[in-house]
Chains A and B, each alone.
Chain A
């Protein structure tokens, strides 16, 4: 052992001592603390980078100011930005926030002492000469509440670093001053107020759709004025001869047409499947070009096979939206609605290798009880129904194969309900579309059931049933509601993503992956869901550890071998569906034994601590021992077949 000579050992001991002493320098250096934290550009915050909701878009367009906050949490790697002072204050009083993000080390709020705020006619805050609003710490600010100042979605709170400025503002616009500590208590549970709004909105959108459909029924039943064949030699002649607000009737038979255009408010009615409108296989079959046209009770085929005129129409300039509109809105279709407000397509069956129906800017139009048979493969086909730039209703219809069943592009406020989607790429595909209601649709054997993209806001996706598909529901955007959906036997049931979305009462059964968690900021609510029998319950991609529990309400993850000693329906310990050990509980032999090991118990104990900077994953601190929706689970288990295509 010549290696270990006394002199070398002495040297080694010096080295070790120096290492420890050098490491002790860490005591002299101060890690960054709350006082060192300065506001960052709002676009770089989580929340600020997402573009925000409706208020934000309106504020940008009209040039008024929204009060904002930036919060640095002890347990969160990024800076959390938010619009609305009251909302932030309320969030900070919620115990769940502290569990997820830790304590706020620094809170910055917009400082209206840095500008001269005036109010627009609507009560929106405008800064003089468009000056940028600065920041101040929340504890430093005086908050003006109950003044005349508003944001589009309601009242607002304005912070001033200088109390005199706040008083001056109150003299001009009313209100009173509240300090930061008292502010949070004045605001409600953010989830509860959202849920109330969602439920009201759901009812309102159904009501709007009902009303729109009822109005459309009136134009379906117009008096018959012309019978094609008897009163006129062909359809074009019949339309030319027909009085507005009457019906042109097409008796059973096949009618060859060539780019038929309807530019009169009439009803085109057939005798059912025996009445066939047949295009020449080139371009669209029927185009509706004025308001209040109805097409009912007939069959259409012979549609051209160009789904998208992307290439021919894109040589011109224009932004991406224009390109999509041109590319997707000007392909061949069975029926085109072009500025045909309050029109209706009902009891129509379409066979197409391109699109079924394209609605371009035809507001309050209705697609009701329509069946579209698309191309056998999604590459060959195109959209069943495309809605572009119009608020309209698509209901009780069936879309088979082709590419997407229903495709929307800036179709804000549309209602898509009770449709059946079979085969094809996506069942319902929403782009740039907010304020919609997607309800009670069923999808089978599609690439994906409902796909929402491009960061919209305020969408309600409720009561849909997707089975045997690539995925069930893949959301995006913010402030939306995904509830009561049934997702069985898909590649993955649902993705939980976006900001401030509520995922409630969904059922994910027997999917390869039950839920995929993919948000960077854990600002969504995921509770009261039943996630059972999935090969992998939850897969998490980006972001920190998320807590899927709100005020003591969690989810049901199946019959776990855990203890509920007090019999309150909640297992006594938290459950981590993404966990190495927890994720295999009840499935892999020995997992429960491993879960009881001191090592697992120790790691579990510290898991909730600083969860915001832990590795990606999901934890439910109040896992339910009984399902929320036992009947629906039983039903899902009984009917879990993959479907025909598999």
Chain B
């Protein structure tokens, strides 16, 4: 029974979040910009008109930079706004479970975000057969050179990476008590993910502080590097022309999962003070 209530509540909150996203012009505009960027890369680069693997490689860096930013924009105010406007307190009078609330916010925002990301990539993927020039039919095709499977894998990884980035942003939104803190925290995390961790690692390697045997492990610690490693290893694979050794796949996958759990865990834990635990009573 309790589970049913939580799930129902979760989707009520999720619906409310989706409505908020749809009614926020800046988010809609941002989603549009993202979609245009992705399709633009497919259109302007030499990859989109070549094949799925080149397109994946063209998109990888753009996606890796844009998704944390997009997740930041979609998530950093979500819980915090409710807190600042007093809606959070009001919701709590309905005896909403914290998992239902945080989960609802997450599911609602994630649906919008993942929807935008996957749809954009889908359009970019559809461009491949459209843009690819006519190929001579009298030649035997080398089936191993390119495969749509590899691009689909990339889309799935990107979806997962989006979910992780949003979870981390949600944790910031739940933990922060003022807009300024949330903004600063989210910015710092985004910058750290996009360039900070990797730069620190390179600096560490250069100075000898980080042993090179530790690269795989430390790269896995950064969601961006873990995502990049997975795409290069599993999606692009040997097709990239060099023997792939893009870090440890299980380690990378595990790290992303850990970040996801950590983000959501912190959000659930920090969404309202432990007093709330006591109020909820005997669960």
A residues near B (Cβ < 8 Å) are 1, 4-10, 12-13, 16, 19-20, 23-24, 26-27, 29, 31-34, 36-37, 40-41, 44-46, 49, 72-79, 98-99, 102-103, 105-106, 520, 542, 544-545, 579-580, 599, 602-603, 605-607, 609-610, 612-617
Contacts of B143 in A (CB 8 A): 32, 36-37
What residue in chain A is nearest B37 (Cβ atoms)?
Answer: A599
6 new A-B contacts at CB < 8 Å, known A31-B149, A610-B241, A614-B46? A23-B152, A33-B144, A36-B143, A77-B142, A79-B140, A102-B239
What residue in chain A is nearest B163 (Cβ atoms)?
Answer: A20
Contacts of B146 in A (CB 8 A): 77, 613
Q: CA separation between A616 and B15, bound complex, in Å?
A: 47
Interface residue? B54 (CB, 8 A): yes
Contact string against A for B residues 62-105, beta-carbon threshold 8 Å, 1 for contact and 0 otherwise: 10000000000000000000000000000000000000000000
Do A76 and B58 touch (CB < 8 A)?
Answer: no
* 9 pairs from A and B in contact (CB 8 Å cutoff): A6-B8, A26-B152, A29-B149, A31-B149, A78-B139, A599-B62, A602-B61, A615-B46, A615-B47
Interface residue? B14 (CB, 8 A): yes
Contacts of B229 in A (CB 8 A): none
Contacts of B135 in A (CB 8 A): 77
Closest 6 CB pairs of A and B: A102-B241, A614-B50, A40-B140, A615-B49, A44-B140, A31-B147
Which applies to chain B's interface (DSSP): helix, strand, loop or mixed? helix
Contacts of A78 in B (CB 8 A): 139-142
Contacts of B111 in A (CB 8 A): 9, 12-13, 16
Q: CA separation between A615 and B14, bound complex, in Å?
A: 43
Contacts of A23 in B (CB 8 A): 152-153, 155-156, 159
Interface residue? B195 (CB, 8 A): no
What residue in chain B is nearest A580 (Cβ atoms)?
Answer: B44
Do B239 and A75 touch (CB < 8 A)?
Answer: yes
Do A610 and B57 touch (CB < 8 A)?
Answer: yes
What residue in chain A is nearest B144 (Cβ atoms)?
Answer: A32
Contacts of A580 in B (CB 8 A): 44
Contacts of A31 in B (CB 8 A): 144, 147, 149-150, 237
Interface residue? B114 (CB, 8 A): yes
Contacts of B144 in A (CB 8 A): 31-34, 36-37, 72, 74, 105-106
Q: CA separation between A36 and B85, bound complex, in Å?
A: 61
What residue in chain B is nearest A98 (Cβ atoms)?
Answer: B241
Contacts of A75 in B (CB 8 A): 145, 239, 241
Contacts of B61 in A (CB 8 A): 602, 605-606
Contacts of B45 in A (CB 8 A): 603, 606-607
Do B14 and A9 touch (CB < 8 A)?
Answer: yes
Do A609 and B238 touch (CB < 8 A)?
Answer: no
Least Cβ–Cβ distance between B253 and chain A, in angstroms: 11
Contacts of A72 in B (CB 8 A): 142, 144-145
Do B156 and A26 touch (CB < 8 A)?
Answer: yes
What residue in chain A is nearest B237 (Cβ atoms)?
Answer: A31
Q: How many A-B residue pairs have CB under 8 A?
A: 186
Task: Pick the residue among A9, A12, A599, A613 that contacts B145 (CB under 8 A).
Answer: A613
Contacts of A617 in B (CB 8 A): 46
Q: CA separation between A377 and B242, bound complex, in Å?
A: 57
What residue in chain A is nearest B152 (Cβ atoms)?
Answer: A26
Do A610 and B14 touch (CB < 8 A)?
Answer: no
Interface residue? B204 (CB, 8 A): no
B residues near A (Cβ < 8 Å) are 8, 11-12, 14-15, 18-19, 22-23, 41, 44-51, 53-54, 57-58, 60-62, 107-108, 111, 114-115, 118, 131-133, 135-136, 138-147, 149-150, 152-153, 155-156, 159, 234, 237-243
What residue in chain A is nearest B156 (Cβ atoms)?
Answer: A23
Q: CA separation between A616 and B47, bound complex, in Å?
A: 10
Least Cβ–Cβ distance between A142 and chain B, in angstroms: 26
Do A5 and B15 touch (CB < 8 A)?
Answer: yes
Least Cβ–Cβ distance between A31 and chain B, in angstroms: 4
Q: CA separation between A74 and B145, bound complex, in Å?
A: 5
Contacts of A520 in B (CB 8 A): 136, 139
Given contacts A4-B15, A73-B145, A603-B58, contact A9 B108 (CB under 8 A): yes
Least Cβ–Cβ distance between A11 and chain B, in angstroms: 10
Q: CA separation between A49 and B139, bound complex, in Å?
A: 8
Do A27 and B156 touch (CB < 8 A)?
Answer: yes
Contacts of A49 in B (CB 8 A): 138-139
Q: CA separation between A607 and B47, bound complex, in Å?
A: 8
Do B239 and A610 touch (CB < 8 A)?
Answer: yes
Do A79 and B138 touch (CB < 8 A)?
Answer: no
Do B51 and A77 touch (CB < 8 A)?
Answer: yes
Do B46 and A74 touch (CB < 8 A)?
Answer: no
What residue in chain A is nearest B242 (Cβ atoms)?
Answer: A103
Least Cβ–Cβ distance between A92 and chain B, in angstroms: 13
Q: CA separation between A402 and B150, bound complex, in Å?
A: 58
Q: CA separation between A591 and B219, bound complex, in Å?
A: 36
Q: CA separation between A455 and B49, bound complex, in Å?
A: 29
Do B51 and A614 touch (CB < 8 A)?
Answer: yes
Least Cβ–Cβ distance between A576 and chain B, in angstroms: 8
Contacts of B150 in A (CB 8 A): 26, 31
Contacts of B155 in A (CB 8 A): 23
